[in-house]
Amino acid sequence: MKRGFGFRIRRHDEALREIDEEIQGHLEARIAHLTAQGLSPDAARAEALRRFGDVAAGRAALLAQARRHRLRVRIVVALEQSVQDVRYVGRSLLRSPGFSVGMIATLALGLGINAAVFRVADQVLLRAPAGVRDPHRVVRVETTADFGGGPQRATSFSYGDAERILAGGAFEAGAMYAAPRRQADRGREVAVSAVDARYFRLLGVEPVHGRSFLADEARPGTDPRVAVASHAYWERAFGRAPFTGDQTIVLGARTYRVVGVAPPGFSGLELDPTDLWIPLGDGEFGAGSINGVRIPWYHSDMLRAMRVVGRLPSARTGRVAAGRVTGALSAIDEAMSRPRRTAVLRPIVPAGDAARQGDAHVLLRRLSGAALVVMLLAIANAANLLLARGVGRRSEIGVRLAVGAGRGRIVRLLLAESLLLAAAGGGAAALFGGWTYDALRRLVFPDARWVASAVDLRTFIFIALAAVAAGIGAGLAPALQATRRDVIAALREARAQAPAPRRTRAALVVVQTALSLALVVAAALLVLSLVRLQGVRIGFDPQGLLTVSLSGDLRDPRSRNAAELAERLGDVSGVRGVALASIAPFGSTSMMDITVHGAPFAPEAGDDTPHYAGVSDNYFAVMGMRVLEGRGFAPTDVPGSEPVAVVNASMARRFWGSASPFSSCIQADVCARVVGIVENVRDGPGGEAPMRFYLPLPQTSRPGSSAIVRAEPAAVRPAADTARALLRPGQPGRIEVVADRVARMLRPWQTATVLFVSLGAVALGLASIGLYGIMSYLVSARIPELGIRIALGATPADVTAMVLRSGFRLVAIGGVFGLALAALASRLLNSLVFGVSPLEPAAYAAGCVALFIAAAAAMLPPARRAASIDPVSALRAE
Amino acid sequence: MSRHPEKLTILRGTLDVLVLQAVSARPLHGFDVSLWLDERSGSTLRLDDSALYQCLHRLEARGLISGTWGVSENNRRARYYEITEEGRRHLATKGERLLSFARMVTTLLAPDSSRG
């Protein structure tokens, strides 16, 4: 710096001196000329000065001009030099394609995976739902209360509680709405959410066409049959037709007038996009769901369907507002002598349905961690590769220093090399990351709404910054190290080992081994849990099973009833059996007040109540459920014969423990004697199965609403098509291929497994490359020594063993650290693994075996090379 | 450009062409150029020598002339300016354009000046 400054001063002086000399010469020539013409010296001098003009100003102008010119020249030279540098570096990289490809692949993998995970995390965890004004001030109300057995979270409220919360003055503005439900519009599924009149205004969402809801329309019981469509749904349903205000949509058997269209992008607050909003006053919303008795839902304290959102006066007033919500609920809790509920206000910014936040989000967070580890590995690898190259180029750099190249210029060349590699790696990472991102969103969040943007600027900036940081970080140290040496030593010991980089590289390999082993163990844990998951008995056989569930008014003579459907479906070829049930095997449930006579245990308050279903006599057989004890239903279980019931294993355990339930009866209208125990049908792989009991459909007053079809696997889709064709126009129905449902349920685990296994493989690959690099380097550094050993009689096998020993020493150190790290980190995977302890020895053993194989594969080629050293040439080189 | 209102003032681009013309035959130092301009114009064109040097340096920065230190006829160190190839091309095109412009102005103004 100091030298550079002095340099500039000197050049500056020189320019000024030349200008002065030129002016001086000019004036003297002019004076001489004038004197020759007969002027006195004084007069000539005065005239010369007059003709020149302002000498000081002229001199300054000339100097400024010279300076500008020099700057321009300097810029041009610098540009030319950089072009030269890039060309030079490009050529030298092309000369060692192995190194270049290794670097670029390393960066592409490390950064690409990170960019993809970052982008998904950004969309799912960090970005507010689109279209909401000031989203950081909008909060969702949740409560926690302890009913004994730990705090329980509630995200939905009864209508009365929601009213109380909104009247409590906690928010600048508030609204309630029901989370979207799936309904059918002419055979298509539509996500419909019921909202109050304040909903759109609260969120700052102005319809682009028409209006939002009026206060009257949102009053329960008014049944206005109007709807607001999301922009996407509007385009799907009406294409480019102009909005008229009297277009209609048919949901089930009801026709709705579309009175407004939401602005593009807005699709509600849940991760699942909402297609249609109806006002809370809608007659169909919440109708007829409690045991077939039409209770006005807004009078029921049991039906908790309302979500409450509020807008805070400022983002920092959350605590005050939460206190007010708690206060608003405390009176009713006290009056009902219930445990007091405490309000929690959650920002809507981590968008997503509270229930869905679970698995996918945990997975995403773990994945981010794993991706970060892979990036660390990649950077370590890049540093390792550049270090190796730095060592290899020591003699080249020595020559350059000797012929007078400045240290600065060499550092610049090495940096240019890192940056060029970073740019190429970054470009590859962008491609690879884009591809991974698409794969991720299809695999993990297929139903989520995504902000459609072809080029994500933030992701691009992220990749660019990370690539440059990795490039400089990985390149600077070797660059400085390579030049921090005196010329003679560099030339003399061009091939001798330098202790410092060797230790650094050994440390890098240890770190890489440890990190990759931890990732591989994590992947192994997930593979094991997926294997266990697929082996889990879910209580029925999903393959070849189809359910057709009807909703709407089943007594309407214009609708198909389930019995009629079952008959027709039984005729489809490949169908082996069709059963009927009052309710679909999954999803919705029916409860009724029951008394169990003769059971040693009575369910405690706050316990789940058993759900029930009326089923046809072949139901258990068609579902593939095993009857564990007693009998299933028979065609003889009809009205008039003895009322009977079958309980599931979960209910049998809770009510009867190890005692026999067969002398007990379940009292609803009549007392139905328990005649059998069937296995539990699980909704999800974890947790305890809910209690259920079954009654013979003919003995209940309920009509069948579901047909369950057991078919040859190949006949499932044709049967589904037949069922679809059988539905009357406008009849709401849901046709589900059960195997798809089960697959969907397993998807988070499958995804986690696939991703972790790929990350683990990438990590192992990176570690192997690193190991290969350092082993090759160590071997070439030890050529003279090994040559002597061979000359003294060491066999190739001895030499190979020696090299492998030194390599495995590093691997062993890294392995010990890696196992410890895996044991510590595996606890983070707790919610992602199933039926596997985080310390499962098999996973750790598998990780070690994988590491051993990868290490051996990486070390064998250098070890072989060591064994084939020719002692004569090795010694001569010395 | 000139601070002599009674003399002809001159536009920058024009001066460039005139200076190029001055050094086109042989290398000249600054004072020679000034003399050349004075003689050729019959002393009607006068500009500050300071402006002339700025012009010379500007032309040199643009690569139209090149300057080298030499020794003048009275044995002084002086900077000699020589026209470059690029300078010649510039002189040819710009000189031609200037000439036709001057001819046009002359033609246009001729009747007026005869009447006046």
Q: Compute the mean pLDDT over every residue in chain A, rounded to the nearest whole number.
A: 78
| Location of structure tokens 């890039």 | A86
Q: A342 - beta bridge partners? A: A144
Contact A784, A878 (CB under 8 A): yes
- Which tens digit of pLDDT belongs to each residue from A465-498? 777 776 676 566 656 665 655 555 555 554 444 5
pLDDT value at position A290? Answer: 45
Q: Tell me how far apart the alpha carbons of residues A778 and A502 are, in angstroms, rounded to a whole number.
A: 8
B contacts of A62 (beta carbons < 8 Å): 53-54, 57
* Sole residue written with tokens 């010694």: A875
A215 touches chain B (CB under 8 A): no
* Greatest extent of chain A over all pairs of C-alpha atoms, in Å: 150
Asked if the C-beta of A56 comes within 8 angstroms of chain B's C-beta atoms, the answer is no
Nearest by Cα to A286 from A163, A164, A158: A158
**Fold category of B12-110 in CATH:** Arc Repressor Mutant, subunit A (1.10.10)
Of all residues in chain B, the one with the smallest CA distance to A57 is B50
Top residue of A20, A23, A26, A31 to mutate, by most chain B CBs within 10 Å, is: A26
Nearest alpha-carbon partner for B98 in B33, B26, B24, B10: B10
Asked if A478 and A387 count as a contact pair (C-beta separation under 8 A), the reply is: yes
pLDDT value of position A559: 56
In chain B, which stretches have pLDDT less than 70?
1-10, 12, 111-116
For helices A357-392 and A394-402, what crossing angle results, to 10°?
Answer: 50
Averaged over A179-186, what is the pLDDT?
A: 68
pLDDT at A464 over 50: yes
- Percent of chain A at pLDDT > 70 equals 76
Query: Residue B77 is nearest to which of A21, A33, A54, comparing CB atoms?
Result: A21
The whole-angstrom separation of Cα A643 and Cα A671 is: 7
Kindly report, residue by residue over A357-369, the tens digit of the pLDDT.
455 566 667 777 7
Q: How many residues does chain B have?
A: 116
Residue B15: left (phi > 0), alpha (psi -120 to 50), or beta? alpha
Q: Report d(CA B52, CA B2) in Å as an integer.
A: 10
Average pLDDT over residues A325-344: 86
Q: Which of A610, A614, A615, A613 is nearest to A595 (CA)?
A: A610
Do A189 and A213 touch, CB atoms closer than 8 A? no
Q: A86 vs A176, A353, A608, CA distance in Å?
A: 61, 51, 71
CB atoms B58 and A28 under 8 Å: no
- What does the angle CA A470 – CA A473 – CA A476 come to, to the nearest 5 degrees? 135
Report pLDDT digits (tens) over A758-783. 777 777 877 787 777 777 777 777 77
In whole angstroms, give the CA distance from residue B82 to residue A499.
61
Average pLDDT taken over every residue of chain B: 83
Instruction: Supply the pLDDT for residue A454.
Output: 38
Determine, for residues A25 and B76 on separate chains, whether the beta-carbon distance falls below 8 Å: yes
Contacts of B50 in chain A (CB under 8 A): 52-55, 57-58, 61
pLDDT-derived band at A44, boundaries 50, 70, 90: very high
Q: Give the number of A-B residue pairs with CB atoms closer than 8 Å.
A: 69
Transcribe A159-186 into DSSP letters. Answer: HHHHHHHHHTT-SSEEEEEE--EEEEET
Q: Residue A54: list chain B partners with CB under 8 A.
A: 48, 50
Q: Which of A22, A55, A63, A67 is most worth mutating to test chain B (most B CB atoms within 10 A of its CB)?
A: A22
Q: Report whether pLDDT(A854) > 80.
A: yes
For residue range B4-20, list pLDDT tens digits in order: 445 556 676 788 899 99
Q: What is the 3-state secondary structure (H, E, C) of A38-67?
A: CCCHHHHHHHHHHHHCCHHHHHHHHHHHHH
Which residues does A281 contact at the CB level (< 8 Å), separation at least 6?
A: A216, A217, A218, A219, A220, A221, A222, A223, A224
Residue-wise pLDDT for A573-625, tens only, equals: 888 999 988 877 765 455 566 777 777 766 554 445 677 888 999 999 999 89
> Among A376, A371, A369, A372, which residue's Cα sits nearest to residue A770?
A376
Contact residues, chain B, for A53 at CB < 8 Å: 3, 48-51
Residues 6+ apart with CB under 8 A from A678: A620, A625, A626, A627, A628, A632, A646, A647, A648, A649, A694
Q: Is the pLDDT of residue A633 over 90?
A: yes
**Contacts A69 to B, Cβ<8 Å:** 57, 61
How far is it, in rounded angstroms, from Cα A252 to Cα A729? 9
Count of C-beta atoms within a 10 Å radius of residue A567: 11
Whole-number Å distance between alpha carbons of A28 and A17: 16
Chain A residue numbers with beta carbons less than 8 Å from the beta carbon of B79 are 18, 22, 25
Percent of chain A with pLDDT over 90: 12
Distance, in Å, from the CA atom of B94 to the CA atom of B101, rounded to the nearest integer, reads 10
Residues of chain B contacting residue A30, judged by C-beta atoms under 8 Å apart: 31, 34, 49
User: Looking at the whole model, is its pTM more than 0.95?
Assistant: no
Is A52 in contact with B77 (Cβ distance < 8 A)? no
| Cβ-based neighbour number of residue A380 at 10 Å | 24
Distance CA A31, CA A47 (A): 8
- pLDDT tens digits for A787-835? 888 888 888 888 888 888 888 898 899 999 999 988 888 877 776 666 7
Query: Which amino acid, one-letter code, is at A102?
Result: G
Burial label for B79, CB within 10 Å (0-12, 13-18, 19+), is buried
Distance from CA of A29 to the nearest CA of B (A): 7
CA of A22 vs chain B CAs: smallest distance (Å) = 6
B interface with A, Cβ–Cβ below 8 Å: 3, 29-31, 34-35, 46, 48-51, 53-54, 57-58, 61, 72, 74, 76-79
Question: Of the candidates A22, A53, A72, which has its C-beta nearest B48's C-beta?
Answer: A53
Residue-range domain boundaries for chain A: 2-92, 135-350, 358-535+745-877, 545-741
**Tokens matching residue A775:** 């082993």
Length of chain A: 878
**What is the rounded CA–CA span in Å between residue A832 and residue A358?**
10
How high is the pLDDT of residue A465? 79
What pLDDT, on the 0 to 100 scale, is given for residue A816? 93
Q: Which of B46, B54, B72 sits opposite A29 (nearest CB)?
A: B72
CA atoms within 13 A on the CB side of A339: 16
Closest-CA distance of chain A to residue B86, Å:
18
- Give the separation between CA A620 and CA A609, rounded to whole angstroms: 22
d(CA A845, CA A247): 65
**Amino acid type, B89:** R
